[in-house]
Structure 1
């Protein structure tokens, strides 16, 4: 008989792990969050949060105060383990890096007990769930796993990738369909029952973990290809002297056309990373996906070239000045509007490149950032919007945060990658 899941352990308390832990805890289930970051653990145990996500602070505060959520640095026994750790790539060839999943699996393995459920939530390359199950089996030869024992296994293993939008995580965890790929039908059934604790949408059972892994990668690659089309249009329009935002607005009036908006590149831990997992799995076949990644990865270089051209134009108009006299203001450092997340952010990469190469001052306006030490150490001076407006000679819009859209636009030279200040 299956053990009722009364205690869940979430491995990784970042942008996905902590909201998921809070959601289960809000349903009066005991949740133990595990993270190697002692500061994050201490913060959560005070009922506070170490990331910015609307509504998360209230849920965490209530769950901790009511005794349903606590954090620690080492795994302990539970009925279900959800692994939500980073899955980056490494090197210039974008090889998937499973070291975080491996470390999590080996940390969890000693406390596993018969009838436990292990779910990999991390967005992963094809076959990662099966690889994780192999690591668990190697560490615990006294237990049976689905790859050997099938439906009769002591431990159930499944993949259930997150499908949420930063800034709306708490709503979308509940309202979005979940794709669940268990290594056996029993694994899928148990995982689906667990998520139905708080998911009001459908828990869709995939035929196995590989198709569930591929589904998440496909969703993000679809977005990446569409953004690449918009970014390529922006390059073509710049060459032809056409307003790309006007063009896209006109083209989108067609009932079957929905072109996305261009920008300085693509950031975040998902869209900028996940397509490479597909390329790594089928390098000869994934030609369009690879090209889209290359288009989006090259956009920051184009933006830097635009800024250099603006500096040159400014110096031509101001005889006697040098580049050291030119102050540049950057608007936005996050990877998308109205959040603080700077993972894989092209805006941050562009700003750092300018700070290291431009002899003049580089100001940065980022209304969602409060931790400034790392940024300031890179020679980037954080300031407010109005101050940047007054001091800068060149204004570079990289992220269309709501305050920027509502504010008075600059009157002098601009490089607008988001169409915020279109005249």
Structure 2
């Protein structure tokens, strides 16, 4: 099941008597087969970097269509640079294969890497069901000397309190296998580059030997340094601290942006000037915070924490209110012309990030739902998405927008394709023959509509 390892006896790295140099050689020669569980936006690129190094990698996924595509060397993540060329090369060289048979992959592997999604449920509690299912699969084939790496973002203590008890529920005992957390530090659209070494790689084991093995393995994958923390719990907190730092900083920027009228200044200009001081690094405000990371990490970090942690909770609340602020601003701008009920609003951008076809926690979805509750008709424009997520909106192509009777517009995501929007075509002719614009809320400081008749509110700058 695992590539290039069948002709040679495989070895485990945990608790071995082999020297570090011998272990590195075995890893590079494919005598330490690897199974990566989860072929998503992080798991697939990670498995390919492993395959480049070891030549003995099996990617596991529950989606048979995805596995079939990978087996054919077809990249399901076409927004990830380099994956489309690297994948078929590694498949052809028998260095990487994909399967839905996780138990067979687990039985053949000596290193198990779990990269499955972790989200929050309706009560903002971490949902680790996908992780737990993957760990159960690993347990089915876990042998003494194997090592398990968890790259999924998890609440502190997950490796010790959740993963290890599952792995030892059968005939394995703690100390027979390695277990470490190795938080992914990867952004969509640059996954291969990040995995190969954009940043130091952090690892932390549940025991010293697990940490040693993790540092050895990831030292072979990355061109950057490996930072080994004192334990897995510390490593689990690292990614969460990174995300919470950004959430709090963005919340500060967003709160300042909502006060631009009260201050009587351009907040964006003020932030840029303030950031010329090296110890000041205020981020950029916007229509809201989306994605797989920042909206969830505060809840992971606070899972089981009884302390109020007011700063972290308030920051999340501020950022979650930004879609509401955008809608309120649009309603105010439209009020002089007509009520929001019955109005048609063009929503530009549904993906949470420019150029990336992902919609998890996108502020555009919240904005659309709020507008729908107010009785507006929402037209959603997003050229990078194949289909819209569940949201009350009609999908419209960029070139079709001028043919629709639009009463207002919101820019949520600054896709490059929006540069070709003919904004003047959204103007209307007044009773006196003059050109009349519509209110536009620019949530990303990306529009220059100075040559049009539109009234533009830029988050952080106010009405123009």
Same fold (TM over 0.5): yes
Matched, 1:97 2:127: yes
**Matched residue, 2:418:** 404
Kindly tell me: are residues 23 and 314 of structure 1, through their superposed partners in 2, closer, same or farther at Cα, counting changes over 3 Å?
farther
* Greater share of helix: 1
Query: Which region of structure 1 is more displaced relative to structure 2, 223-232 or 407-416?
Result: 407-416
- The answer as to whether partners of 2:182 and 2:204 remain within 8 angstroms in 1 is yes
CA distance in 2, matches of 1:36, 1:242: 53
**Matched residue, 1:311:** 334
- Length-normalised TM-score, structure 2: 0.81
**Matched residue, 2:85:** 58
Q: CA deviation at 1:395?
A: 1.8
Q: CA deviation at 1:86?
A: 1.3
SS of match in other structure, 2:302? helix
**Matched residue, 2:186:** 164
SS of match in other structure, 1:270? coil
Matched, 1:127 2:139: no
- The answer as to whether partners of 1:125 and 1:281 remain within 8 angstroms in 2 is no
Kindly tell me: are residues 15 and 283 of structure 1, through their superposed partners in 2, closer, same or farther at Cα, counting changes over 3 Å?
farther
CA distance in 2, matches of 1:283, 1:242: 40
Q: Deviations over 1:77-105 (max 9, x none)?
A: 2011101111112233x222221111111
**Mapping for residues 61-140 of structure 1, pairs under 5 Å:** 61-75=88-102, 76=105, 77=107, 78-92=109-123, 94-130=124-160, 131-138=162-169, 140=170
Q: CA deviation at 1:403?
A: 3.1
- Length-normalised TM-score, structure 1: 0.88
**Matched residue, 1:349:** 366
**Matched residue, 1:30:** 56
Matched, 1:226 2:249: yes
**Matched residue, 2:462:** none
CA distance in 2, matches of 1:327, 1:189: 59
Q: Deviations over 1:300-339 (max 9, x none)?
A: 11112223233333327xxxxx843x33211111112221
SS of match in other structure, 1:81? strand
CA distance in 2, matches of 1:337, 1:405: 12
- The answer as to whether partners of 2:126 and 2:303 remain within 8 angstroms in 1 is yes
SS of match in other structure, 1:166? coil
RMSD of equivalent CA atoms: 2.2
CA distance in 2, matches of 1:29, 1:143: 28
Kindly tell me: are residues 156 and 330 of structure 1, through their superposed partners in 2, closer, same or farther at Cα, counting changes over 3 Å?
same
Matched, 1:417 2:443: yes
**Matched residue, 1:17:** 43
Q: CA deviation at 1:254?
A: 3.2
Query: Which region of structure 1 is more displaced relative to structure 2, 177-186 or 47-56?
Result: 47-56
CA distance in 2, matches of 1:249, 1:389: 35
Kindly tell me: are residues 262 and 121 of structure 1, through their superposed partners in 2, closer, same or farther at Cα, counting changes over 3 Å?
same
CA distance in 1, matches of 2:341, 2:126: 41
Matched, 1:189 2:212: yes
CA distance in 1, matches of 2:402, 2:269: 26
Q: CA deviation at 1:407?
A: 5.8
- The answer as to whether partners of 1:126 and 1:281 remain within 8 angstroms in 2 is no
Query: How many pairs align?
Result: 403
- The answer as to whether partners of 2:368 and 2:393 remain within 8 angstroms in 1 is no
1:258 maps to which of 281, 285, 295:
281
CA distance in 2, matches of 1:104, 1:371: 29
CA distance in 1, matches of 2:335, 2:44: 47
Q: Deviations over 1:395-420 (max 9, x none)?
A: 21111223335766556321111111
Structure 2: stretches of 5+ with no match in the other structure: 1-10, 14-25, 428-436, 451-464
Q: Deviations over 1:24-83 (max 9, x none)?
A: 122352211111122221221121122332222222222222222222122122011101
CA distance in 1, matches of 2:366, 2:63: 25
Q: Which has the larger radius of gyration?
A: 2
Kindly tell me: are residues 387 and 136 of structure 1, through their superposed partners in 2, closer, same or farther at Cα, counting changes over 3 Å?
same
SS of match in other structure, 2:259? helix
Q: Deviations over 1:363-415 (max 9, x none)?
A: 2221211235x56x84422311x432563331211112233357665563211
CA distance in 2, matches of 1:128, 1:192: 20
Q: Deviations over 1:250-282 (max 9, x none)?
A: 322334322111111111111110111222243
Kindly tell me: are residues 2 and 31 of structure 1, through their superposed partners in 2, closer, same or farther at Cα, counting changes over 3 Å?
closer
SS of match in other structure, 1:62? helix
- The answer as to whether partners of 1:178 and 1:201 remain within 8 angstroms in 2 is yes
